[in-house]
Amino acid sequence: MDSKRLRGLLAIAEHGSFARAATVMGLSQPSLSRQIALLETEVRSSLFYRNGRGASLTAEGQRLVDAARPLLGALDALPASIADTEPHGRVVLGMPTFLSAHLAVPIFGALRRRYPRLQVHLVDGFSGFVSQWLLEGRLDVAIVYEARRSPGIGAEPLTDQELFLFACREAAARAVRSGVIPEEGSAPLEAISRLDIILPGREHGLRRALERAGARPDPTRLLEVDSLAAIRALVRAGAGWSVLPRAALTAEDHGGLVIHPLGEPTLCARLMLAFGANRPSTPALRTLRRFLRDEVMQLQARQAVSPRLGR
């Protein structure tokens, strides 16, 4: 399959128009149209809906774009990976929001001082979003919750994070009086079905970990919120309980909220170091992955994250 045709496909998908894509690529529009027609013949599918306002991807076109983007990125990186063994270039790293608060300073401090030619672009969000960005080829490497394996993604275990149930003091006192939550010690997993609970959507790793363990929130008492800041604000306002890993709980949380380990033994969610399986293993990627593993080990030693990786 001709890489020039695939680059034309990506350009049209990005710019939404054959004319704009042809201008960016330095081609005539008829030449680009012929390349896409040959590509459509090769894959035996229509790749674009064409209309007076431009062009949009068909379902088949979107699948080809998703598959082609990491392959072309790998192809572009080949010369650099052969010519220079010093870590350099741009690497896009994604991770959950709670973890970026711990890792941003060492990434842009110690790592940058050690490898000044290595440029890291850090993005964060809930794990489901980060996983999707990695699948789409927008990220080079990511830290995500363990999920169903994809043939396009490689992953290795990083750390197991203990999960904690927490609420404001008033909500906690009500739950203790009603017998749902003990005054001290671990909270039972089944308490989630009897509480007003604030959780991210089902596409996110934390929610999937809870459901795999048997947690069943009551839909009439569930608030679905894909924002860590909003979850914290709602909990502090007394809107309900929530669940977060150890690394997401701040000193302010420990001072102002009631926090219980969830389950006995404490329920854990595994974080994975994930990367595009089709991307070349460049010095930059190898260096960043090694640095992340070392930094997580240091966080474990300081008990900023859970200090173990289970079997």
Domain membership of residue 306 (yes or no) is no
Q: Are 230 and 291 in the same domain?
A: no
Q: What CATH number does the domain containing 61 carry?
A: 1.10.10.10
Kindly state whether residues 262 and 173 are assigned to the same domain.
Answer: yes
Mean pLDDT score across all residues of the chain? 89
In this structure, is residue 276 part of a structural domain? yes
22 assigned to some structural domain: yes
Q: Would you say residue 166 has pLDDT above 70?
A: yes
pLDDT in tens, 175-228: 999 999 999 999 999 999 999 999 999 999 999 999 999 999 999 999 999 999
In this structure, of 5-14, 68-77, 214-223, 280-289, the range with the lowest mean pLDDT score is 68-77
Q: Taking 70 as the threshold, does the pLDDT of residue 306 lie above it?
A: no
Q: Are 133 and 275 part of one and the same domain? A: yes
Domain final residue pick, 81, 104, 124: 81
**In a shared domain, residues 233 and 296:** no
Distance between CA atoms of residues 204 and 263, nearest Å: 20
pLDDT, position 154: 84
CA 208 to chain centre: 14
Q: Is residue 261 part of a domain?
A: yes
User: Which domain range does residue 144 map to?
Assistant: 86-159+269-301
Average pLDDT over residues 261-268: 93
At a CB cut-off of 8 Å and minimum separation 6, what does 213 contact? 189, 263, 267
The total domain count for the chain is: 3
Give tens-digit pLDDT for 265-289. Answer: 999 999 999 988 767 778 899 999 9
Residues 174 and 107 in one domain: no
Query: Which of 102-111, 230-239, 270-279 has the weakest average pLDDT?
Result: 270-279
What are the phi and psi torsion angles at 178 (to 5°)?
A: -85, -5
Average pLDDT (134-160) is 84
Please check the confidence at residue 84 and state whether its pLDDT lies above 60. no
Q: Decide if pLDDT at 34 tops 90.
A: yes
Q: What is the CATH number of the domain that holds 293?
A: 3.40.190.10
The answer to whether residues 142 and 172 belong to one domain is no
For residue 236, give the CATH number of its domain: 3.40.190.290
| 139 and 191, same domain (yes or no) | no
Q: Are residues 73 and 96 in the same domain?
A: no
Task: Clarify whether residues 93 and 181 are in a common domain.
Answer: no
User: Is 309 inside any structural domain?
Assistant: no
pLDDT at 311: 41
Instruction: Annotate 289-301 with DSSP letters as a single string.
Output: HHHHHHHHHHHHH
Residues 171 and 263 in one domain: yes
pLDDT at residue 66, rounded to an integer: 86
Q: What is the pLDDT of residue 307?
A: 54
Q: Which of 114, 101, 99, 153 is nearest to 288 (CA)?
A: 114
pLDDT at 2: 86
**Given pLDDT bands bounded at 50, 70 and 90, which one contains residue 88?**
confident
Q: Give domain status of residue 310, yes or no.
A: no
pLDDT of residue 81: 60
Residues 127 and 172 in one domain: no
**pLDDT above 60: residue 233:** yes
